[in-house]
Amino acid sequence: MSLNTLTKTSLSLALALALSACQTAPTQTTQAPTTNQNEAAFQFANADYTTISQALEQGQLTSEQLVSYYLDRIAAHNQQGAELRAVISLNPDALADAKALDEARKQGDVRGSLHGIPVLLKDNIDTADGLANTAGSLLFAENYPEDDAALVKNLRAQGAIILGKANLSEWANFRSTRSSSGWSGVGGLARNPYDTTRSTCGSSAGSGAAVAADFTTFAVGTETDGSLVCPGAVNGIVSIKPTLGLISRDGIIPISHSQDTAGPMTRSVAGAVTLMQAMASYDGSDAASFRTDTVFTEYLNEDGLEGKRIGVVRNLMGYNELLDNQFEQQLEILEAQGATLVDVEMPTYGQFGDAEFTVLLYEFKQDMANYLATTKLPYRSMADLIEANNKMAQQELPYFGQELFIMANNMTEADAPRYQEALEKSKRLAGAEGIDAMLAEHDLDLLVAPTTGPSWKIDLVNGDHYAGSASSPAAVAGYPHITVPMGYIELPQQPKLPVGMSFFSTAHAEPVLIEAAYSYEQATQHRQPPQLSTTATHSN
């Protein structure tokens, strides 16, 4: 078989996988089975984790019904209806897994906090169930891992159902300087459920859109800088970027071991904390991993803002007047809940962004090679991926290129001193002289800022239109960061666009952040589900 024939065969297979998984799997069921009057009364639409968990425990709902409901939602609005393209592939065993877990529950065998709860995984996380792990790229369409990622093993141990894989910005949005968030060669262009002409933001695009659109109870995303919290904010959901090392990076297609982490994306703080708890574990093979006995769900305290000293990071504002106005109103709520607010300023991306970029490029080349070595794919280096993209340019490079791949590939051992200097600088300015310094100087528990601006119009010509973000300090330092819906930007004759409030602090400060975020969420209850259009005519 010639190389050209092999490429065409691989492409056909990849497209078949991507399309058949999203189009045929949901048709296995068209209506959730009803077994008694209580179950029939359950309100599926936009139910959060707590409501679903209680209904399962009380016999008002079965996992089979829940999975069937989500499969129907995906069939109606993933490639049809609103055409959100949030899901790349579905687990053909999801319904069978749900039935088995329902039977186990009847026998008194409840495996954990996620027993019978569906989870979508960002499609850069390994599973050993026959689902390809593609990073959104047709180059990885036949990447079938032999082992679950560590976090997936933890989810299964807690009784979770792997519903399928979520679309993402290809290669976790680290291929081009002019990329459009949410686009991948395998999944197409993921769209924001609140306005499908607008971006999902960040690389965990499909995970955020899927949770917002009620395709799943839970989704797992990953972040290097902003790819959990940005799609969380603009899709109107809760997302947590944990302290680096709380969740193992085993089996995740990487960018940078200095910043990469997985995290939960859900419709409530309680759900996000429960999912994070289930994924967290020590992994001796991950150099950043650490042990903790913290029970994070114990910090879901409605009075969690009482007595907190909170720094308002004023220099992470000023890029969107409407966003700032909404944020200022929320500060009054924080004070009303018993918090003391102090205005602060700290080093921002403009001061350490170049150093961070050097770190990401340098680590990406080697970290990707390390992952490739675990696969049966015909690639072993960044150079191999660049060459393969060029050969498949019509499918993989139609809108933007691979400048970041090329820049990373150009890194050599001669760049090691520059890399080490950049790593030290970025960590110091974001951490010790940034977040940590502000906390110490003003005796603060945590910091707040608007997460990012409202979603922008999708622009495949010019790429993303980021105006500003609060993600970088915590991302670079490796510190925890939670985003919670803080309302909507509303203008006449325009769809309401969700925006988020960021809560972040020093390493291992998840308990403090959970208390504050949960208290704020309970006091405001801002989240409103999107009204999905059924007249979308998108072609990307």
Name the residues annotated as catalytic.
122, 203, 227
**Cα atoms in the 13 Å half-sphere on the side-chain side of 143:** 27
Six token digits for residue 527:
């989240």
Please give the span between the terminal C-alpha atoms of the chain, in angstroms, as a whole number: 32
Burial of 463 (0-12, 13-18, 19+ CB in 10 A): middle
Cβ atoms of residues 489 and 323 within 8 Å: yes
Decide: 482 and 513 in contact? Cβ < 8 Å: yes
What is the per-residue DSSP string for 236-273?
Answer: T-EEEEPPTTSS--TTB--S-TTT-EEEEEESSHHHHH
Backbone dihedral region for residue 478 (phi beyond 0: left; psi -120 to 50: alpha; all else: beta): left
Q: How far apart are CA 57 and CA 331, in angstroms?
A: 37
What is the spatial distance between Cα 256 and Cα 361, in angstroms, rounded to a whole number? 8
Angstrom distance (rounded) from CA 331 to CA 321: 15
Residue 83 tokens read as 């055409």
**Can you tell me which residue has the tokens 């048709």?**
27
Q: Which of 497, 501, 503, 470 is nearest to 485 (CA)?
A: 501
Nearest to 516 by CA among 293, 292, 310, 235: 310
- Strand order in 238-241's β-sheet? 87-90, 161-166, 118-122, 218-223, 261-266, 238-241, 481-489, 497-504, 446-450, 309-313, 340-344
Q: What is the number of other CB atoms lying within 10 angstroms of the CB of residue 395?
A: 17
Count of beta carbons in the 10 Å neighbourhood of residue 35? 11
CB 245 within 8 A of CB 223: no
Residue type, 517: A
For residue 496, report the phi and psi dihedrals to the nearest 5 degrees.
-70, 135
